[in-house]
A and B are shown apart, each in its own frame.
Chain A
Amino acid sequence: MKKTIRDTTVADRLLFVLLIAAAVAGLFISREAMSQSNDVIVEINGSPAYTFPLTTDRTFTVQGALWETVIEIKGRKVRIKEAHCPNRICVREGWVSKGAIICLPNRVVVVVGGTGRSGKDIDAVTG
C-alpha cells in the first residue's frame, strides 16, 4: 500500500485531488439544479402566469379562462382545492408533489417540479 502511494507521480496525485474536487463540485451543482425545480408554476391559457415556491404553504386564487380556481400548496404538495367546472377532475386529482394538474375547461395548468408544460422560454408576460 505504502509502495503504491510512493510510486505515484505528482501528476497522479494532482489527478486524484482533481477528481475529488470534481465530485464535490458535482454535489453543489446538482443541489443548485434541484433548487430550481422547487417551484409551483401556474400556467393560464398556455403561458406561465405565476410562480410560487413549493416550500411555502399558501392558498391562493387565480383567474382562469372561465372562472376562478383555488390552488393550495401545503407540505411541499399542491392541489386544486376549488374549481367550478362540472366534472371537477382537477380537484379529484388531489395532492401532487411532481407532475401537473390540468384543468382543461378553465385552461389552468399547475406544474410542480418541472419546467412547465408549454416549455416556452418566456421570463414574464405583459398584458
Chain B
Amino acid sequence: MNFRTTYSAFLAVLGLCLISSCFMHREATYKKTKELMDTFVTVTVVSDSAEKGNEAIEKAFATIGKFGALVNFFSDESEVSNINRNAGVMPVKVSPETLEVIDKAVFVAAKSGGAFDPTIGPVMKLWDFHNNIKASADDIKKGLRLVDYRNIIIDREKSTVFLRHKGMMLDPGGIAKGYAADLAVKTLKEQGIRAGVVAAAGDIRTFGARPDGKPWNIGIKNPRPVKGSTNDILAVIGLGDKAISTSGDYERFFIEDGQRYHHILDPKTGYPAGGCRSVTIITGRGVFTDAFSTAVFVLGPEKGLKLAQDEEMEALIVDVNGKIFMTPGLKEKLKFEKND
C-alpha cells in the first residue's frame, strides 16, 4: 500500500513536470526579414508562441519603418531633407528621434575630432561607386568647405536643427541604422520579448540569451575572404546585451589602376580613408557602434584603437595590409575561423 502511494505520487509529479515543461517553457526563435531603410532588416526573437513572436517582430519593423522615413536622405518628405532644404535659411523643428540621432552624430563627430562627420553629404555625392566615377580634385575642394559638424546647430528645448551654411547637407546614413536597431530592441522589450537580435544589415543589437541559454553568435565578415573558400567569416563572438557594427572597404567600391576607391571618405580630405580594410566596434548601443566604426576606420588602426579604448568600447581592426589589431578585452571572446 505504502509502495503504491509512493509510486502514484511519483508518477503524478513526473506527469506534471512533463506537461509543464512541454507547455510552459516551449521557447523557440522566430525570425523575419524585411526591406527597410534601403537594406534588409532581420529581427529574431525568443518567444513561447509563434503568434506573440511574430506580432512583436512586426511591431519592431513598424518602428524601424517609421524612423527610416524621418531620416531618409533621399526622400523629399523626410525631416532630414527638410533640414537640408533649409540650410542657411532657418532652423527646422523635428521629432525627438531625429533630434537624438543628430545629437549623437554630433557627439561622435566631436569625440573623433571630425573623423566621423554627418555633414559629409556635399563630398559624398561627388563620388559614384556604382558607376565607378571618381570625384574631381576641384569639386572635392569646393565640397569640403561645406563639411563641418560644428555648423550643425541643435536646439534641444525647441527641438530644432539648423545647418549654418547654404548648401550644407546632413546625411545620417552612417548612424541611422544603428539607432534604428536600438529603437527596435526597445519596441521588442515593450512587447514582453526577453531575448532577440535586430540586424539592420551589418548594424546588430542583441539582448538576452538564445533558447539554449547561450549568447547570440555573431559572425564578423572577413574583408578579404580566401578565393575559392566557402567561408567568409573572420571570427565569431558570443554577445548578450550588446551592439556590434562593422565598416568595411568592400561594401561599395571600385578599383582603378590598382587603387581601391571605397565609400568611407575621410571628411578632412574628401578621399577614401586609407588605413583599414574593416573595423568592428562592440559596445552597448547601436547608435554608437555604427558611427564609431566609421570614425575608427577613418582614423586608422593606431589612433582608432586608442579612441575605442578611451570610449571603453571593444574594437577589431583589420588594417590595409591585413594585420589585425584589437582591444585587450576582445582577445578571449573572439573565436577566429579557419579560412581555407
Contacts and interface: CB of A to CB of B under 8 A. Distances in A.
A binds B: yes
Interface string A1-23: 00000000111001101100110
Interface string B63-83: 000000000000000000000
Contact of A46 (B40, B210, B230, B246): B230
Measured as residues with beta carbon below 8 angstroms from the partner, the interface class of chain B is 35 or more
Interface stretch (A24-32, A83-91, A92-100): A24-32
Q: Tell me which of A45, A49, A53 has the highest count of chain B C-beta atoms within 10 A of its own C-beta.
A: A45
A30 to B, nearest CB: 11
A47 to B, nearest CB: 5
B197 A50 contact: no
A25 B246 contact: no
A32 B221 contact: no
A17 B217 contact: no
A11 B42 contact: no
B219 interface: yes
Given A46-B232, A51-B31, A52-B33, A122 B219 contact: yes
User: What class of interface size applies to chain A in its complex with B?
Assistant: 35 or more
A125 B218 contact: yes
Interface stretch (B4-12, B84-92, B304-312): B4-12
B199 interface: yes
B244 A14 contact: no
A118 B232 CA distance: 11
Given A39-B31, A45-B230, A126 B204 contact: yes
Contacts of A50: 33, 40, 42
B216 A118 contact: no
Given A18-B18, A28-B22, A126 B197 contact: no
A1 B134 CA distance: 90
Nearest to B278: A127
Contact of A127 (B12, B32, B220): B220
A16 to B, nearest CB: 10
B309 to A, nearest CB: 20
A127 B223 contact: yes
B280 interface: yes
B202 A126 contact: yes
Contact of A124 (B18, B19, B199): B199
A14 B221 contact: no
B217 A121 contact: yes
B53 to A, nearest CB: 10
Given A25-B23, A45-B225, A18 B44 contact: no
